């Protein structure tokens, strides 16, 4: 309203109250940031976007809703403008929605962007879906019924929903695993919503008794929630006709957080504010993202780190005292050391994983216990930068190397 009409901040405050006026003003500032966006300015804008969000996260929720509406009506824009909007959505807004735990919004943003950026790939995946359906019939109702029967036998009351994965998530899996569509296993996803946490585990037992679990495809985010509050049990089983099927099991309250993420903090039920026990405190979540990047001097560094942080799946490792450290997939002991404290990272000379000495470039896996070996006087090595994947570690290593170069140059100058 402020950017597109003659209305002013004061007028909105008078009619709708100070709180709404501040939200509108925040969104206006964000939109103005975007308009001035050129490649190098984009990183700086993104940094400002996060800073603006840290005052009130709802500004970003409104911004995401606005972007979703823009994407739904994108076909009215000129082709090159469509490309630019879709790329920006894919790079920044979709992962942000995902990072905030708003999974349905992330899926839709990615899917519309995918339709603009790579229409041929999307069409070919949809064609394969249709072929599969013609060959084996619509499997979703059949598998849903199978799961319902297994749960009824285990006396678990639950709702079961099935769906085909979105074309973009299928495409991303094919790209990651370098597999053809025919080899791709879980193009069907099923959800079991139960009444209690205990029922989640009973349901898991029922599913695993009925079908063979696929090794290495089990994740328990109920006992180890993701940082955006997401809780669910994921497992993949060989279902009907050997088709692999992904099953997610969670309670209805966890499902609310899985769908609306950080926004679940502001839930209302029948007009009453409703306290969801699993909702993450949005401000704590934001602070954890922003404080990590306040130290990075170069805005494009900052954007690179944020993209790294937002896109990656998580691995959970333990310190010798049993504390859990969450890291992105592909993280190494150096990332682990920096995740505990910069000092520990800087003085790291070696690592033990589950009691065995390992090289510093070893990729960590879920559930491993990591011990960092330190030595006073050790400094980060230039080669470390290629070994680490977290923004925090990269920034700390660069900072330390720059400090050393500076000291050398000062000596040379003298």
Q: How does pLDDT run across 6-29, given as a tens digit for each residue?
A: 889 899 999 999 988 888 888 877
The average confidence (pLDDT) of the chain is 81
pLDDT at 51 over 50: yes
Q: Are 398 and 385 in contact (CB under 8 A)?
A: yes
Least confident window among 125-139, 246-260, 321-335: 125-139
Least confident window among 67-71, 103-107, 280-284, 315-319: 280-284
Q: Are 200 and 250 in contact (CB under 8 A)?
A: yes
Which backbone phi and psi does 395 adopt, to 5 degrees? -65, -45
Query: How far is residue 371's CA from residue 333's CA, in Å, rounded to a whole number?
Result: 8
Q: Closest by alpha carbon to 302, among 239, 208, 394?
A: 394
The tokens of 206 are what? 């029922």
pTM: 0.66
Hey, which residues are catalytic here? 3-4
Q: Closest by alpha carbon to 263, among 104, 37, 116?
A: 104
pLDDT at 352 over 70: yes
Least confident window among 49-53, 63-67, 217-221, 405-409: 49-53
**Burial of 163 per CB tally in 10 Å (0-12, 13-18, 19+):** exposed
For the residues 211-221, what does the mean pLDDT come to? Answer: 87
Cβ count within 10 A of residue 290: 15
pLDDT band at 37 (very low <50, low <70, confident <90, very high): very low
Q: How does pLDDT run across 277-333, given as a tens digit for each residue?
A: 777 666 666 666 666 555 555 666 666 666 555 555 667 788 888 777 878 888 999
Collapsed DSSP state (helix, strand, coil) of residue 57: coil
Q: Closest by alpha carbon to 98, among 88, 110, 87?
A: 110
pLDDT at site 35: 47
Higher local confidence (pLDDT), 305 or 112: 112
pLDDT at site 366: 77
Query: How far is residue 89's CA from residue 113's CA, in Å, rounded to a whole number?
Result: 7
Q: How does pLDDT run across 138-191, given as a tens digit for each residue?
A: 778 888 898 999 999 999 999 999 888 888 888 887 776 666 665 555 678 899
Q: How does pLDDT run across 85-97, given as a tens digit for each residue?
A: 898 888 778 887 8
Query: How far is residue 390's CA from residue 157's CA, in Å, rounded to a whole number?
Result: 41
Buried b (16+ CB within 10 A) or exposed e, 121-133: bbeebeebeeebe
Least confident window among 300-304, 329-333, 376-380, 390-394: 300-304
Cβ count within 10 A of residue 141: 10
The tokens of 34 are what? 């975007």
Indicate the Cα dihedral angle 88, 89, 90, 95, nearest 10°: 120
């Amino acid at each position: 309203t402020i950017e597109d009409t003659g209305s002013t901040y004061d007028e909105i405050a008078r009619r709708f109250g100070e709180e709404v006026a501040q939200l509108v003003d925040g969104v206006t500032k964000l939109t103005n940031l975007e308009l001035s966006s050129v490649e190098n300015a984009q990183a700086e804008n993104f940094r400002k976007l996060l800073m603006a969000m840290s005052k009130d996260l709802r500004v970003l929720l409104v911004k995401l809703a606005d972007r979703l509406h823009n994407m739904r009506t994108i076909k009215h824009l000129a082709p090159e403008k469509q490309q630019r909007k879709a790329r920006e959505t894919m790079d920044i807004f979709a992962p942000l929605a995902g990072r905030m735990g708003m999974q349905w919004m992330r899926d839709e943003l990615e899917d519309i962007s995918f339709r603009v950026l790579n229409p041929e790939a999307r069409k070919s995946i949809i064609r394969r879906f249709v072929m599969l359906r013609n060959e084996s019939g619509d499997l979703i109702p059949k598998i849903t019924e199978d799961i319902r029967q297994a749960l009824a036998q285990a006396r678990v009351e639950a709702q079961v929903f099935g769906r085909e994965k979105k074309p973009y998530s299928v495409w991303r899996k094919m790209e990651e695993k370098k597999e053809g569509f025919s080899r791709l296993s879980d193009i069907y996803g099923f959800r079991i919503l139960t009444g209690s946490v205990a029922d989640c585990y009973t349901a898991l037992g029922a599913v695993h008794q009925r079908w063979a679990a696929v090794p290495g495809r089990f994740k328990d985010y109920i006992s180890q929630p993701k940082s955006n509050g997401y809780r669910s049990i994921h497992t993949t089983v060989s279902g009907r006709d050997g088709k692999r099927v992904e099953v997610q099991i969670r309670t209805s309250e966890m499902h609310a957080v899985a769908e609306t993420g950080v926004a679940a903090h502001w839930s209302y039920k029948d007009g009453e504010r409703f306290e969801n026990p699993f909702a993450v405190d949005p401000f704590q979540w934001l602070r954890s993202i922003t404080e990590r990047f306040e130290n990075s001097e170069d805005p494009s560094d900052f954007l690179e780190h944020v993209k790294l942080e937002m896109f990656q799946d998580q691995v959970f490792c333990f310190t010798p005292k049993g504390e859990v450290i969450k890291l992105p997939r592909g993280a190494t002991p150096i990332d682990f050391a920096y995740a505990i404290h910069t000092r520990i990272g800087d003085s790291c000379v070696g690592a033990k994983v589950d009691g065995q000495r390992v090289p510093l470039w070893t990729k960590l896996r879920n559930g491993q216990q990591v011990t960092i070996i330190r030595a006073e006087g050790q400094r980060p090595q230039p080669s470390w930068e290629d070994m680490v994947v977290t923004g925090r570690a990269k920034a700390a290593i660069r900072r330390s190397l720059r400090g050393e170069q500076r000291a050398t140059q000062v000596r040379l100058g003298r």
